[in-house]
Amino acid sequence: MQFSKRMERLETSVFSTLDEEKQRYLKQGKEVYDFTIGSPNIAPSKEIIQALIDAAKQPQSYMYALHDIDELRQTVKKWYQTRYEVELDADTEILSLQGSQEGLAHIALAICDEGDIVMIPSPSYPVFANGPKIAGAEIYEMPMREEHEYLIQFDEIPKDIASKAKMMIISYPNNPTGATAPDAFYEELIRFAKANDIIVLHDTAYSNLVFDGEEGRSFLYYEGAKDIGIEFNSFSKTYGMAGARIGICVGNKEIVGMLRKLKSNIDYGMFLPIQKAAITALTQDQSVVEETREQYQKRRDMLVEGFHKAGWEVASPKGTMFMWAAIPKTYANSEQFAIALLQKTGILVTPGSAFGTYGEGFVRIALVQSEEVIEKALQAVQKSGFFTS
């Protein structure tokens, strides 16, 4: 059989590989503390679950949902007004996604031609690169370095790359580093994009998971952002709806409209009960968001303190549900370290090399385990003497 050449540009997901390693250890009767995939274990509120159940009982819910219902679009419009101080047109500037990852996988198909350049942060979530690769675009990695607090340095981007680039993907609070970006960064980003005629996609999946009293803002809050860009937002982390698969695309109406046109040719829209659940998520008492944030912050603090006691000096992230930790210099690469950590302690983390060229030398730790499991994992690493022997 002969298959598409575009598939040669993709590799097997690192998360599938890690899961295979996990299953091998479990079959040996060993305990594994899995901190790899950012799949929230904090359930949606009772109100969200009930809204989903009620809608699922209605026979009409099983017809094709050819477009987002007006109630969802109006609810998102109001939410962006109150939460982010951003005005959106409900008819032209809002579009639901089958989760942000689906949008990230498809957006380049709506924007890029074969050979166009897409600039992505490095390290970054794998689909940032894989979506453009599927569209036949070329990738340019914008380094995010620890010494710059993981902020992209626009003056380091070669002028020939900037002038040719069609699209740029940005994401703060950032997965995997946990970094946030100040107002000045977004103002510089908008100037840079306008000067080089670049479409900006901002992934803001973690804007409601910012710690220590800092507030996460929308990219569209900044003057001129809507002229050149869109934003993907997610219900997965904020409201515990990862398995329900719903996100939203908002912003520039021409870009939103082009993605809507593409999606109209490849799917039939969002399952109506999930739309109803999303409406409830945005209209319920929003104290649930603060409770979720507090749980992730407590897990972060537990792991930072526990790893320090064990001899591993890890940085404390400003936001997201991830920690980005430098590996000991005694290890050649992040994959070697991750395997050794699993073998000696049962703790499974994601090698930083999975997140791009500039991810090497680090590992990502997802805050997806309960406090009880975290405590057991920390006891295992301290008992092993892994970082002190």
Give the pLDDT score at 5: 84
Domain map (residue ranges) of the chain: 5-43+287-384, 63-282
Separation between Cα atoms, residue 187 and residue 346, nearest integer Å:
44
Considering only CA atoms, give the Rg of the chain.
21
d(CA 244, CA 225): 29
Which pLDDT score, from 0 to 100, does residue 70 have?
Answer: 97
| The predicted structure's pLDDT at residue 21 | 80
Q: Report domain 5-43+287-384's class.
A: alpha beta
Q: Give CA–CA dist 129/101, Å, rounded.
A: 12
Q: How far apart are CA 16 and CA 119, in angstroms?
A: 26
What pLDDT, on the 0 to 100 scale, is given for residue 17? 73
Residues 6+ apart with CB under 8 A from 59: none
Buried b (16+ CB within 10 A) or exposed e, 68-103: bbeebbebbbebbeebbebebeeeebbbbbbbbbbb
* pTM: predicted TM-score of the whole model, two decimal places: 0.94
For the domain covering 63-282, report its CATH number.
Answer: 3.40.640.10
CB 138 within 8 A of CB 128: no
Name the residue among 166, 161, 173 with its Cα closest to residue 200: 166
Intervals of the chain under pLDDT 50 = none
Closest CA to 359 of 326, 319, 381: 326
pLDDT of residue 22: 84
